[in-house]
Structure 1
């Protein structure tokens, strides 16, 4: 440490005379060098200003995007609070209403046990057969791969689904999500359901094939009104 400090002091002592000499030479030749000095100074100022503007712009854009995402999450949760308060029967009817809103026809709600995973059945606007499995769970819960396997085994084999959708007020486990993506089942977890509720069309969600954007915001407690069917 002592050696390093000594070196720094020695460099400072040498720097002062050198700097003074440069300033003296600059003063003697000011009439010749002043355009260059002014030019270098202006370039440095312009470069510093450009860097500051770019950094400020990036920070502002990032902050706006974060704010926008947070507002969208809040709006989604405000919409989902009404869905959470529904009974599982009302939830199935509501999903059927969303299908009709997006142009589906001949939409039927089974409303009974033993439906073999077909809670809602109908036709897409282009005539393809639609089969929907609904799970009204508390937000903190997850749909297992076992539930997804059961739906996979019945949606096409038993009901001849061209479009198979598993929709839940909760989230899917990674295994369930992977299974849905592999077999072209649209896994509408809580966030995607929130987007559907807020106006995204079913046709715009179907190409996702289960590849959504995550679960509910962290730190949310399960709402007491949400029950497993």
Structure 2
């Protein structure tokens, strides 16, 4: 004799799930019927809500994209600034003149300068690096990558004085070199308001001193005759 299998009753959780699903389906059908019946009266509100929601979504996406771009740019600048401050002067000495110009541009960017450009060519009339300081002033930089035992002659400074203000319309003019300046060149720079970044000031700039803080130090820091003779004996052989 065959035994009849007892039909299992659904669990309480299953019954609650089916009840909620049925209620949702019924509510959806009712909403669709009401929407169809009153579409002529409510369609402007539906369209307005959809447009407002779309505009809000677009605004959220634009703000999110802007934050991501700004974050990547900030991280790039921080990494670039760290790299600029980690080089030793010996590594700077080993650069080519083109690499030195790009390095000076990196230091400017590290200090918050914007629109920084490197000419990278001859005939630039002394404007090897240009940019805008954080306070809005126009920056023009002449770069000279000389051996540490050499001196920037007054002739180089005279040429830059003749172009920095009148031709390039600089608000701040900087002459950055990997060596000291001759006494006439340094005197000429101070007289005409050119910041002479000699080797000692370049060391300060390289290790994190912002460019605006070097301006009051113009004309100082090259050391005495003994200091300069030691540089010549060390690097001039």
Partner in structure 1 of residue 154 of structure 2: 145
| CA shift for structure 1 position 173 | 0.4
Alpha-carbon distance in structure 2 between the residues aligned to 1:85 and 1:132? 20
Contact 1:177 / 1:211 at 8 angstroms: preserved in 2?
no
| CA shift for structure 1 position 195 | 1.0
| C-alpha distance after superposition, 1:59-87 (max 9, x if no partner) | xxxxxxxxxxxxxxxxxxx8100000100
Partner in structure 1 of residue 200 of structure 2: 191
The DSSP-based 3-state class of the residue aligned with 1:142 is coil
Alpha-carbon distance in structure 2 between the residues aligned to 1:155 and 1:211? 21
Alpha-carbon distance in structure 1 between the residues aligned to 2:221 and 2:163? 23
Partner in structure 2 of residue 213 of structure 1: 222
Alpha-carbon distance in structure 2 between the residues aligned to 1:222 and 1:192? 20
Alpha-carbon distance in structure 1 between the residues aligned to 2:162 and 2:134? 25
| C-alpha distance after superposition, 1:167-208 (max 9, x if no partner) | 100110000000111111100001110111111110110122
Contact 2:195 / 2:218 at 8 angstroms: preserved in 1?
yes
| C-alpha distance after superposition, 1:93-135 (max 9, x if no partner) | 0000000000111000000010000000000110000000000
Alpha-carbon distance in structure 2 between the residues aligned to 1:210 and 1:120? 21
Contact 2:142 / 2:175 at 8 angstroms: preserved in 1?
yes
Q: Of 90, 93, 96, which aligns to 2:99?
A: 90
| CA shift for structure 1 position 212 | 2.9
Moved over 4 A (4+): none
| CA shift for structure 1 position 222 | 4.4
Alpha-carbon distance in structure 2 between the residues aligned to 1:138 and 1:213? 15
| CA shift for structure 1 position 211 | 2.8
Paired residues, number? 147
RMSD: 1.8
Q: Of 171, 179, 184, which aligns to 2:188?
A: 179
TM-score by length of 2: 0.59
The DSSP-based 3-state class of the residue aligned with 1:125 is coil
Partner in structure 1 of residue 61 of structure 2: none
Contact 2:180 / 2:222 at 8 angstroms: preserved in 1?
no
Q: Of 122, 133, 138, which aligns to 1:129?
A: 138
Q: Of 116, 122, 125, which aligns to 1:107?
A: 116
Q: Choose 1 or 2 for highest CA Rg.
A: 2
